[in-house]
Amino acid sequence: MKKKSKGSGQTRRQVLAAGAALAASATSVRAETLTGALPWTSGATSPPKPADTSAWHFFTPGEAASVEALVDRLIPPDPQTPGGKDAGCAAFIDGQLAGPYGSAGGLYREGPFQKGTPQQGPQAEATPAELYRAALKALDAYCGANFQGKNFAALAPDDQDAVLKGLDGGAITLDGADAKLFFELLLQNAMEGFFSDPLYGGNRDMAGWKMVGFPGSRYDYRAYVDKHNQDLGLTPVSILSKL
């Protein structure tokens, strides 16, 4: 026998069914209301905008030369794969620093600022753009003082590697900038530029994806979900190819 709710002749199933029908009707009303206001028709929405890599948007020419040299030592070229410079990592970083990421858009910026633990995430007062600007200036000053007036981009590869090692290990300090924090941010951003969708200015010709065998921004991977540790034989696809 079906249990009836107190004070009514309805069963519990009937009550639930009625509630579901009411929810469905309310949803359809909301959908009809929204479709009159939002661009739901094909081609009317705003697609992602490809990065403009024809010019520098944040870096000065001198800063750009330094960053290209830096990312090319962090991700050096080999016979099969281009390095960070030719893969567009500096262009990717430039575009990011010129946008909301560079100004720490969306993050709380009022302080107080305290030195946190690595598990607490970024705690620095400087935005990424401010850190890059100050660190690149201080880096060239350090190199000029220790390598016969040369800036980082003009150093021999072995000397560039020694400077990077000093920044990472704390042996080199930069005037007005946290050297180790800059190194860690630069390394993170270089890797992001090497493996991001080419839409964002890096990973030119999908070099990073080809290197690791990543098939790219495909719509459906269900046919391959159970295939592990094997070459899928798929050519990488970028979001750019869909625009």
Domain assignment present for 120: yes
Q: Amino acid letter at 68?
A: E
Residue whose C-alpha is closest to residue 93's, from 122, 123, 128: 128
Q: Are 74 and 164 in contact (CB under 8 A)?
A: yes
Span 39-52, mean pLDDT? 70
Parent domain of 185: 61-109+116-212
Domain assignment present for 151: yes
């000093």: which residue's tokens?
166
How crowded is residue 195: how many other Cβ atoms within 10 Å of its Cβ? 19
Domain assignment present for 30: no
Helix (H, G, I), strand (E, B) or coil at 186: helix
Span 37-46, mean pLDDT? 57
Domain assignment present for 236: no
Return d(Cα 237, Cα 76) in angstroms, integer: 24
Q: Which tokens go with 175?
A: 């005037």
Residue whose C-alpha is closest to residue 48's, from 185, 198, 179, 168: 198
Domain assignment present for 145: yes
Domain assignment present for 183: yes
CA distances from 162 to 7, 105, 149, 158, 175 (A): 83, 34, 17, 6, 18
Domain assignment present for 103: yes
> What percentage of the chain exceeds 90 in pLDDT?
61
Return d(Cα 191, Cα 88) in angstroms, integer: 11
Q: Are 74 and 87 in contact (CB under 8 A)?
A: no
pLDDT digits (tens, 9 = 90+) for 137-179: 999 999 999 999 999 999 999 999 999 999 999 999 999 999 9
Q: Is the pLDDT of residue 34 over 90?
A: no
Residue whose C-alpha is closest to residue 163's, from 69, 58, 61, 68: 69
pLDDT digits (tens, 9 = 90+) for 182-199: 999 999 999 999 999 999
Q: Are 215 and 236 in contact (CB under 8 A)?
A: yes
pLDDT digits (tens, 9 = 90+) for 63-98: 999 999 999 999 999 999 999 999 999 999 999 999
Predicted model pTM: 0.79
Span 20-46, mean pLDDT? 48
Phi and psi torsions of 6, nearest 5° = -65, 140
Residue whose C-alpha is closest to residue 128's, from 106, 150, 144: 106
Domain assignment present for 235: no
Total domains in the fold of the chain: 1
Return d(Cα 36, Cα 156) in angstroms, integer: 62
Return d(Cα 84, Cα 76) in angstroms, integer: 6
